[in-house]
Structure 1
Amino acid sequence: MAEAILGDQDQYSCSICLDLLRDPVTIPCGHSYCMSCISECWNTNDQKGIYTCPQCRHAFNSKPPLNRSTVLNEIMEKLRSTELHVSESAQSLAGPGEIACDFCAGEMIKAVKSCLECRASYCEIHVQPHYNVPALKKHKLVKAAVIPVCPKHDKLLEVYCRTDQKCVCMHCVLDDHKDHDTVPSAKERDEKQIKLTRSQAKVKQTIQTKEKELQKMKMDITSHSDSAKKAVDNSKKVFSELVKLIEKKSIEVIEEIKAQEKADLDQGTKLQKKLEEEITQLKKRDGVLEDLIQTDDNIQFLQNYESVSSSSGSNGLPSFSFQPYCSFEDVRKLICDLTGRLENTCTQEISKTISKVSDLSAKRPSVDIVVGDRVRVKPSVVTPTHKWGSVTHLSVGVVKKIQGDLLTVDFPEQRNWTGVVSEMERATSAGSDLSTKNGPVNIKVGDRVRVKPSITTPKHNWGRNITHKSVGVVKDIKDDDSVVVDFPGHANWKGILTEMELVAIDETIGTLSLDSNIKVGDKVRVKPSVVTPTHKWGAVTHKSIGVVKKIQGDSLTVDFSEQKNWTGMVSEMEIVASAGSGLESVVKIGDQVRVKPSVVNPTHKWGAVTHKSIGVVQKIHGSLESLIVDFPEHKKWTGLFSEMELVTGDDLDIKVGDRVRVKSSIITPKHNWGGHITHKSVGVVKDIKSEDVIVDFPSHKGWKGILSEMELVNNSDADVSGSS
C-alpha cells in the first residue's frame, strides 16, 4: 500500500517547504500543510491580521485553529518510512551540474535538500536530523539548489531592495541600502507572483482567443478548399457535357452525310443499269448490220435493207450522266466554317469566364503582405497616397489591419498609419539571414552604428562609457527589434533598431580610433566576438597580445610575438590592460573564464561549479583580486583571479552534436580535406574517439578529422556558413 502511495507522493507534499507533510493540519479551505510551516507563515502576518491560504489565496477573517490530522499523519509516517527505505537503496552520485551532499565522505552523493539556515545541502540520509531533531526542525528546507549568498558579506539573501531591484542580505540593508525601499523577499515574491498570475491569466486568455481564431481559420481554409474542388469538378462536368454534345452533333452530321451519299448512289446505280441495257441493244443491232453488210447475195441484201435500215438510227437515244443532289465539298466547307465559329465562340466565352474568375480575387493585395508583417514604403514611391506624416522611407512598421487595397501600419514614429498595399514592401522575408532579419535592411550584422542624436536615453540605458559619439559594430539582430552591438568600451550592448543609425565610412575614419581609445603603443588583442578577422588570422589567435605599431584610418599594424607587422581593423581589436601580470592583465567584463585545472578547491568553495564549468565575468572588484562570474550552474559565483583562466573559442570543449569547421590556420588536415570540404564548410560532430572526431558535412558524411584541427562555430556563423 505504501509503495502505491509513494508513486503519487506529490499530493502529500507541503506547498511551503515542498517536503512530505509533518504534523499535518488541514485549514478550512481544505488544503493541508505542516503545522510548523503554516504557523510560521501566519505568524509573520499576525500583526497585519491577514490570514490567507498560500495555495488558493482564500482569506480568513480570523486565525483558524490548527488541529492535527491523525489519519493523514499515519499515512505520512508510512509514506516516509517507505520513502526512506527506497531512498537508502537508490542513492545516486551527483552528476555534472547537480548538487552534491556536503556531508558525504568519499563519493559525492546527490543532494535532495538544502537548508537555508545551515547553508548546506544534504542527501536522503543526512537530511533526516532536520526532520527529527527539534532544534533543526525550525530550519527552512528547500529542494537541493545553490544557496544564494551576498558576495560582499557572505550572508543569506533575505531582503529585496525595490530601489535597486535586487536581493540583498540584512547587512546590506544596514549598509549600502540603508535608505532604500526594502521588503522581505517573501512579501516581494507574493506581490510579484500575483502580478505574474494575472499576466499568466491574460496569456492563457489570449491563447484561447488565438486558438479560436486558428480553429475558425482552419475551417475557413477547409471550406474555401472544398469550394474550389467543387468548382473544379463542376467545370470538368460542364466541359465534359459540352464535349459530349459536340460528339453527338458530329454523329448526326456524319449520319446525314451518309444518308445523302446512299440516295445519290442509288440514283447512279439505276442510271448505270439503263445505260448498260442500251449498250447491249446497240451491240445486237450492230451484229445484224454487220451480217447484212457481209451478205454476198445482192437480192437478199436489197430485200432486207429496208427493214434493217429503218431501225438503225441512234440519234433518238437519251444521254446519261451522274448528277448528285448533294455536293460534299460544300459540306466540308460548311464543317470548316462551323469549326472556326465554334473555336472563336469558345475562346471568347471561356476567356470571359476566366476573366470573371480573376475579377473575384481582384481585391486581394497585389503583394503577399499579411497582418503581422514588417513593411516599409517602397523606395520608388515619392509621396504616398495618404501622405507621409511622421513616416519616412527608413521607417519599418508592423501591419495591423488590411482592408481591400488599404492597410493600417503601426510605425514607431506614428501609430495607425494608413497606406496603400501596392505602395508597400516587406522589410523581411522568410529564411532571411541575420543581415536583414527583423530590421531596416540598411542596418545589418557587421555595420557600424551609433545611437541617434534624437535619443536622450536609450531604452536599455547607455551602459559603460557609451555616448552619442560612440561607434560600434552590429553583432546580432533579434526578433524583438533589439540589436546587439560591440562598442569599444562595452561588448554585447543591447539597444533598439529604431534608436540606431548607420555611420558612414568617412565618418568612422579618425572617429573609431578616438572612441576605441586605441593608440600607437597600446597592447591589443582580437575581440572574442570576431570569428575571422577581415585580414585573416595568420599566426595570430584570440590569445595573442601585441603592440600597436601604426594606425591609419580604420586599419592598424600590430607586432605580435607570433607575427610581426600584422594588419587588422580597429573595430575588431580591444585594449589589454597593462596593470598586473596574471589573468587580471587580460580579463574584462564579458569574458569567458573557468577554474584552473591545478586548483583543487577554490578559496570561495565550488558550489555547483566544476573544472568543466565555463562562465561569464559579470563584475571585477577594484582590487583586481576577485571577480563575480555567472556560470550556467551557479549565478554570481565569487572567485579569485589567481585561480581562474581565460577561455577562448579555441579552448571550448567540442562534444557530439556541436557545429564545427576546420581552423583557418590549418592548411591541410591530417586526414586530408575530402569531397568539397573547405575552411568555410560547417558540419555536425557525429562521434569523438580519443583525439579523432567524426563530422557530418553537407557534402561529405562521416568525415574524419583531429580535434586540435577543429573549432566551434556559433549559431549565427553556422546559419551563414552552413550552406557552404
Structure 2
Amino acid sequence: MAEAILGDHDQYSCSICLDLLNDPVTIPCGHSYCTSCINECWNTKEHKGTYKCPQCRHAFNSKPPLNRNTILAEIMEKLRLGTKLHVSEAAQSLAGPGEIACDFCAGEVFKAVKSCLECRASYCETHVHPHYNVPALKKHKLVKATVMPICSKHDKLLEVYCRTDQVCVCMHCLMDDHKGHDTVPSTTERDEKQMKLADNQTKVKQTIQAKEKDLQKMKMDIASHSDSAKEAVKNSTRVFTELAKFIEKRSTEVIGKIKAQEKADLDQGAKLQEKLKGEITELKKREGVLETLLQTDDNIHFLQNYETVSSSSGSNGFQSHSFKPCCSYTDVSKLVCELKERLETVFNQEINETFRKDIYSDESLVVDSPGSACWKGIPSEMEPVTDDDECGGSSTLTFNIKIGDKVYVKPSVKTPKYLWGSVNHKSIGTVINVQGETVTVDFPEQEG
C-alpha cells in the first residue's frame, strides 16, 4: 500500500511548501494545506486581512475554519513511512544531462529532488532529510528541484520584481540600480500575473469552445450540402430518365402520326390520280370524235352531228383537282427543331446560370474575341450595352451575362485586372456563346 501511495507523491504535496502535507487541514473550497503553511500565508503583510485560497484564488469574507483532515493525515504517515523505506532505492538515481544535481553528493552525484531558497542549494532524497527533521532547517522554503535564480551582480537570490524595469532583482539591487523603482515581492507579482493568465486561459477556452461549435456547425452544413447534392443527383437522374422516356415515347408517336398521315395523303393522291387518268381518257375519246367530224367532207353529215358533238365536247363538266395534304411536314420539322433549341437554351443558359450565379462576384471570366483571344475580365469590370450607350449614354443595370448581350469594359475601370490586350473602352462586343465560365464575345473592330 505504501508503494502505491509513494507513486502519487506530488499529489499529496502542499502547494505552499511543496513538501508532503504536515498536519493537513482542508479549507471550504476543498484544497488542503499544512496547518502552519496556510496560517503563515494568511498572516503575511501582503495578505493581512484577506483570505484567499493560494490555488483557486477563491476569497472568503472572514477567516474560514481550518478542519483537520484525519484521513489525509493517515495517508501522509503511510507516505512518509514508504518514503523512508525507499530512500536508498531513490538515491540511486544518478543525475543525467540537463537534470538538477545534488550539491552535497560526493563521488557519484545523484539527481536532486528539492531545492532550498534559503540555502540556495539542491538536495537528493538522502541529503534533503535534515530539512524535514532539523527545527532550524524546517523553516526554510523548499521547492521542486530547480536552478537557483541568482542575481549575477550581487550573487543573491532573486526574490523581488521591479515593475519599472520589468525584471526580477535581489534585495541588494533595491539599494543601487533599482533604488526608488516600483518594486514588489515576486510572490505578489506572480499572484497578479497568474490571475491575468487565468483570465486569458478562460478566454482562450471560450474561444476554443466557440470555434469548436463553428466547426461542428460547418461539418453539419457540409454534410447537409453533400446530402442535398446527392438528392439533386438522384432527382436529376430520375427526371432525365423520365424525360428521355417521354421524348422517346413522343418521338415514336410523332413518327407514327407522320407515317399514318403520309399513308392517308398518299391514298388520297392515288385516288385523285386515278380520277384524273379517267377524265383524261374520256377527254381523249371526245377529242377523237371531234377530230373525225372535222375531217369529214360531207357537209350534211357535219351539220347534222355538230350540235350533238359540240354540246358534249367541252371540258366544263370536269372539276379541277390538286393534291392538298392535311399538314406540312416542314412545319413539324421546324417545331421539333424549336423544341431542341428550347432544351438547349434551358441547359446552356438557365441551368448553367444557376451554377454560375454564386461565383460571378468572385471568379474571373475568360472572354475570347477575334483578334484578342483569351482576353480575361471579371464581371464587375463589365457592363451591358443599351441603345442609349451606343449613343453615348451609360448603363447602371445589374445583369447576368447571356447570349446576345452587348458588353463593354466600364469607363470607371482604369486598368482591368488581367490588362487590356487588344480591347479598349470603346470596344463593344456581342456575346455569341456562354459555356460554363467562358464567355465568347465578338468584337467587330477587332476582327482579323
TM-score normalised to the size of structure 1? 0.39
After superposition, the Cα gap between the structure-2 partners of 1:19 and 1:262, relative to the gap in structure 1 and judged at 3 Å, is farther
Determine helix, strand or coil for the equivalent of 1:25: strand
| CA–CA distance in structure 1, aligned partners of residues 248 and 88 of structure 2 | 91
* Whole-angstrom distance in 2 between the partners of 1:260 and 1:61: 106
Residue aligned with 1:233, SS: helix
**1:417-449 C-alpha deviation (Å, 9 max, x unpaired):** xxxxxx999xxxxxxxxxxxxxxxxxxxxxxxx
**In 2, Cα distance between equivalents of 1:230 and 1:363:** 25
1:227 aligned to 2:228?
Answer: yes
Q: Give the secondary structure class of the aligned counterpart of 1:75.
A: helix
Larger relative strand fraction: 1
- Quick one: structure 1 residues 343 and 29, their matched pair in 2 at CA, closer, same or farther if it must change by over 3 Å? closer
| CA distance in structure 1 between the aligned counterparts of 2:135 and 2:262, rounded to whole angstroms | 124
Flag the 1:32–1:337 CA change in 2: closer, same or farther, 3 A.
same
The reply on whether 1:354 has 2:351 as its aligned counterpart is: yes
Q: State how many pairs are aligned.
A: 311
Any idea what the Cα deviations from partners look like across 1:30-57, whole Å, max 9, x if unmatched? Answer: 3211223223212213783222221232
Bigger Rg, structure 1 or 2? 2
Do 2:41 and 2:47's aligned partners in 1 also have CA atoms closer than 8 Å? no
* Corresponding residue for residue 71 of structure 1: 71
Report whether the alignment pairs 1:344 with 2:341.
Answer: yes
Whole-Å Cα distance in 2 between the matches of residues 424 and 7 of structure 1? 72
Compared with structure 1, are the counterparts of its residues 67 and 334 closer, same or farther at alpha carbon in structure 2 (3 Å cutoff)? closer
2:16 counterpart residue number:
16
Q: Which amino acid aligns with 2:19?
A: D
Contact 2:42 2:48 in 1 (8 A): no
SS of equivalent residue, structure 2 residue 184: strand
Residue of structure 2 in register with 1:130 after alignment? 131
Percent identity (aligned): 70
Secondary structure in 2 matching 1:232? helix
Relative to its length, the structure with more helix (as a share) is 2
Who is 2:442 aligned against? none
Residues 51 and 61 in structure 1, CA contact (< 8 A), matched pair in contact too: yes
Match of 1:429 in 2: none
User: Could you tell me whether the CA contact under 8 Å between 2:115 and 2:144 is conserved in 1?
Assistant: yes
Q: What is the one-letter code of the residue matched to 2:53?
A: C
Mapped pair 1:157 → 2:158: yes
Q: CA deviation at 1:173?
A: 0.9
Deviation at 1:232, TM superposition (A): 3.0
**What secondary structure sits across from 1:117 in the alignment?**
coil
Aligned counterpart, 2:250 = 249
User: Once the 2 structures are TM-superposed, how far is the Cα of residue 64 of structure 1 from its aligned partner?
Assistant: 4.5
Map of 1:511-526 to 2, 5 A cutoff? Answer: none
- The DSSP-based 3-state class of the residue aligned with 1:150 is coil
1:313-352 aligned within 5 A: 340-352=337-349
Structure-2 separation of matches of 1:87 and 1:230? 71
Say whether 1:29 aligns with 2:26: no
Q: 1:172 to 1:65 in 2, by over 3 A?
A: same
Whole-Å separation in 1 of the counterparts to 2:61 and 2:258: 107
Counterpart of 2:175 in structure 1: which amino acid? L
Q: Which amino acid in the other structure matches residue 3 of structure 1? A: E
Give, in angstroms, the shift of residue 144 of structure 1. Answer: 1.2
Shift, 1:66, TM fit: 4.6
Secondary structure of 1:206 counterpart: helix
Distance change in 2, residues 1:202/1:162 (3 Å): same
**CA deviations over 1:215-253 (Å, ceiling 9, x no partner):** 223322332333233233322222221111122233445
SS of the residue 1:183 aligns to: strand
Counterpart AA for 2:362: P
SS of match in other structure, 1:33: strand
Contact 1:84–1:124 (CA under 8 A) maintained in structure 2: no
Q: Which residue identity is paired with 1:146?
A: V
What is the TM-score normalised by the length of structure 2? Answer: 0.60
Contact 1:45/1:51 (8 A) holds in 2: no
Distance in 2 between the 1:359 and 1:259 partners?
Answer: 46
Look up the match of 1:89: 89
Aligned pair 1:171/2:169, yes or no?
no
SS in structure 2 of the partner of residue 93 of structure 1: coil
**Does the 8 A contact of 1:25 with 1:66 survive in 2?**
yes
The residue number in structure 1 matching 2:146 is: 145
Shift in Å at residue 16 of structure 1? 1.6
2:354 alignment partner AA: V
Amino acid aligned to 2:341: N
Q: Deviations over 1:58-115 (max 9, x none)?
A: 3344444556444322211112322454464254332222111222223332222111
Contact 1:155 1:169 in 2 (8 A): yes
Structure 1 residues 363 and 54: alpha-carbon distance in aligned structure 2, compared to 1, 3 A threshold: farther
Comparing both chains, which one has the higher relative contact order based on Cα–Cα distances under 8 Å and sequence gaps of 6 or more? 2
SS in 2 for 1:178: coil
Residue 426 of structure 2: aligned partner: none
